[in-house]
A = this chain, B = another copy of it.
Amino acid sequence: MSAGFRGIAEQLRTQIERGFYAPGTRIPTEFDLAEQFGVSRETVRRALALLKTEGLLGTARSKGTYVQHPPVRLVIARYGAVANASRERADLGPWETACAEQGIEGRAVVTAVERESAFPAVAARLELEEGTEVVRRSREMWAGDRIAQLQDAWMPAALVEGTPLAGTTKVVGGVYAAMAAHGFAPGHVSEEIAARISMGTERERLSLAPGAWVLELWRITRDQNGRAVEVLRTVANASMSAFVYDDLPIGSAGRRDQVIDQR
């Protein structure tokens, strides 16, 4: 039970959870813990490594090992009444508005708008030939001092040419409104959520530890005629995010069994 580095990790985990070591405070040095537990420093380091991958501890080189604050979970409404809640100021995007409502400073920063060839994952979702020209809008969604999400949106170049959607500036009034104004009003969307290990550049941009996970969400937006007009990929810090689908209607209106759960 209490033997080995796993046992040491368990004891430390308990102490953290019970508040003996409070979030933000420093725990004893590796040498001190080694002496305290009567083991070598390497054994302590193995225990600490476990707690680091669990997100309970973080280290600052040459400074010490700190108890991490529990991650702020941004609950992001993807659908439903909540998603249409009050939005007084039209100059603020949904991300900023939402964060503001929670007392978080939210910013959405457009990092790139570029024309490129659709790679397979994008082409398939837009129902285009691979290599067809598309316009990519890349954005960083900030929550406080961290990037919570990276977003890339692709639209067929033929569709957005000459509209503000192909420009590098923020789209005033929102992307969906602009789409509607140019004749391809969104009709419905499909979303897919999966989790995976963070990779290369995104790990740095999201300030994630090696081995930390991300949530990858793909959304396909179709117009009233069912034509795919936009595909959006969101890569989110998994421990900071939750996605909500509110008030999905089921049962009535001739559609039977619309929700498949795992029964």
Binding site for B on A (CB under 8 A): 50, 53-55, 70, 72-80, 82-85, 87, 93-95, 97-99, 101-104, 106, 108, 139, 141, 143, 149, 151, 171, 174-177, 180, 185-197, 210-211, 213, 215, 219, 232, 234, 238-239, 241-263
Contacts and interface: CB of A to CB of B under 8 A. Distances in A.
Contacts of A262: 72-76, 93-95, 98, 102-104, 108, 139, 141, 149, 151, 234
Nearest to A84: B253
Nearest to A73: B263
A215 B106 CA distance: 25
A66 B83 CA distance: 46
A189 B250 contact: yes
Contacts of A191: 244-245, 248
A85 B189 CA distance: 18
A37 to B, nearest CB: 19
Contacts of A257: 76-78, 83-84, 87, 94-95, 98, 174, 176
B73 A260 contact: no
Q: How many copies does the complex hold?
A: 2
Contact of A54 (B102, B192, B211, B241): B211
Chief secondary structure at chain A's binding surface: mixed
A94 B263 CA distance: 5
A188 to B, nearest CB: 5
- Residue from A73, A79, A180, A196 with most neighbouring chain B CB atoms (10 Å): A79
Contacts of A174: 254, 256-257, 263
A237 to B, nearest CB: 10
Nearest to A82: B260
B72 A263 contact: yes
A93 B258 CA distance: 10
Contacts of A54: 197, 211
B239 A195 contact: yes
Contact of A193 (B80, B97, B193, B211): B193
Contact of A260 (B75, B103, B253): B75
Contact of A243 (B98, B171, B193, B213): B193
Nearest to A219: B261
